[in-house]
Amino acid sequence: MTSSPLILGPLLRYVDEVSASIWFETRDAAVVAVTAGDRTFRARTFAVHGHHYALVALHGLDPGSVTPYTVAVSGKEVWPPADSGYPASVIATLDRARPLQLAFGSCRTSVPHDKLGNHTHGVDALRAYALRLAAADGEQAARPDLVLFLGDQVYADMTSEAMQVFIRGRREISEPPGEELADFAEYAHLYGLAWTDPANRWLLSTLPTAMIFDDHDIRDDWNASLSWKRTMDATPWWHGRIVAGLASYWVYQHLGNLSPAEREADEIWQQVAAHEAAVHENALHENALDQNAEQAAELDLTAVLDAFAERCDEHPSTYRWSYCRDFADTRLVVLDSRSTRVLEPSRRALLDDGETAWLSDRLQGGFRHLLIGTSLPFLLPTGLQRLEAWDEAISEGVWGRPAAALGERMRQAVDLEHWGAFQRSFHDVAAMVTELADGDRGDAPDTVMFLSGDVHYSYVEEVERSSGSRIVQAVCSPIRNPLPVLLRSFSAVLSYGASRRISGLLARAARVPEPPFRWNGVTGPWFDNCLARLSVTPEGVRLVWEAGIVDGQDHQHPRVRTVAEILLGPREGAP
């Protein structure tokens, strides 16, 4: 589709009962029109670093409806593609009476879907799921209400051969940052590699999506420690990377997370809306709405968005990337666990005070299920969780400087920087969810469940409780980026078996407070590329992990196989 005026999209993003937003990247400045049913909705593009984007907002839709749509760019119909072999893209609005169906996962690399790509990175679980969904066209039960991507949609620091070809075409790759991304243009190309495969592109056009970043969207170990941050801040190319990473994240991922009310309140979107209003007002004055809308100057957000991204890095408390959505009897809270970290040793925290207060306000009773999406697992297997707590303590100096230096090297070498490595935040959030599960924040839900990714294996852990809500950690990782076999064994050794006792002894020796509760594995781990499906049913929450598998040599048409399945019903005696 290189000759098409549409570069990326349509991406169906926020959808509720009566509204939807669809995101686009176009080749040129343009007016993008979406026709759904007998109504057409339009938006002008805005520019960032020479790239052109639009978000078309649809409103007045019928609750629980399924409406096919088409797309035109400056009057030329571009979607569906003329040669598309996929069903029509549709907007399926929410029905408050329908229990939530959600898919989730994290960590997806963008390499070809051929024999070599499948050998080195495994089958893309998202693509296999897309092909099955396309084959089930018309079966509404097969469609989740949302696909939640929990980080590492793109890898800015571990680039593919195709990405490196692009980099070599514009700068000397032997100079820093080498094969890593340097600027906005390179991020734009990387998102193009991630979202243009026809099967995945169709899936993203017809299923609502929500997203949150993790470290590789920016760089491995992003904000792991004060030492890490000081090293990166002193690196000449880092300022350009973090500005480009956050600016591109706002455009490509975060904008589509926002509800209409949240967009209206967003400081960057307000400039887009004001420009659109001015164009509209001028067109009305000239009595030539369509002609003037096409000819009006495109808003260029480059300087504004770069300044915004720079501020978000230097003063992260000035903007919130987290968000909250309610579906029927289920609430979903999605947390930024990267940018608002407090790294000073005396008050080190994974969430700053403002983010902690925001989360506390949303962990309220009255829902049957409460889901907390956080890219980093809140509950790792006990052995690894206690090891991270010990490493945090020695890295911050409890055993003196030599041990602190060793702890810091370990922290960055093997990614010991999850919730367990931020004990202040871990205990704060554990107290919140325990209060919620005990009914101290309103009517207790059946289930409080953390949904996470990052670690490149999947599992379920559950807190030991004799009453109240179940507190569960469910992990699905990776979608497509499996751990090498040797690292799988290393992860298992750190997480399970005798390591639980050893890491517990180390943590106590470093005077780490005991965990606020005990938890144990329910199922897992498994290391397959997977996409997980969560279904709210009358019996409880059903979780299914599904992977792609190739039959024979047909690498372009993988099928889906079930890796694991579990039903988490309400605890006996729970309200």
Q: pLDDT tens, 434-478?
A: 999 999 999 999 999 999 999 999 999 999 999 999 999 999 999
Q: Is 184 helix (H, G, I), strand (E, B) or coil?
A: helix
Amino acid 1: pLDDT: 40
Amino acid 78: pLDDT: 97
d(CA 105, CA 134): 20
Amino acid 499: pLDDT: 76
Amino acid 142: pLDDT: 77
* Cα-based distances in Å from 497 to 120, 198, 491: 30, 44, 11
Amino acid 291: pLDDT: 46
Backbone torsions φ then ψ of 60, nearest 5 degrees: 70, 25
Rg of the chain in Å (alpha carbons): 23
Residue extent(s) of CATH 3.60.21 domains in the chain: 98-153+322-574
Tens digit of each residue's pLDDT (9 = 90 or more) over 89-131: 999 999 989 999 999 999 999 999 999 999 999 999 999 999 9
Q: At CA 43, angle to CA 263 and CA 49, rounded to 5?
A: 80
Q: What's the pTM?
A: 0.96
- In SS3 terms, 366-431 reads as CCCEEEEEECCCCCCCHHHHHHHHHHHHHHCCCCCHHHHHHHHHHHHHCCCCCHHHCHHHHHHHHH
Confirm or reject CATH 3.60.21 for domain 98-153+322-574, answering yes or no.
yes
- 544-548 contact pairs (CB < 8 A, 24+): 545/458, 545/476, 546/125, 546/128, 546/129, 547/123, 547/125, 547/128, 548/122, 548/123, 548/124, 548/125, 548/127, 548/128, 548/129
Structure token digits, residue 354: 């403002």
Backbone torsions φ then ψ of 173, nearest 5 degrees: -75, -15
Amino acid 289: pLDDT: 47
DSSP secondary structure string, 202-216? HHHHHS-EEEE--GG
C-beta separation of 308 from 268 below 8 A: yes
Amino acid 292: pLDDT: 45
Q: Which residues of the chain have pLDDT under 70?
A: 1-2, 138-141, 283-295, 493-494, 497-498, 572-575
Structure token digits, residue 193: 């590699």
Amino acid 501: pLDDT: 86
Number of alpha carbons in the 13 Å side-chain half-sphere of residue 499: 18
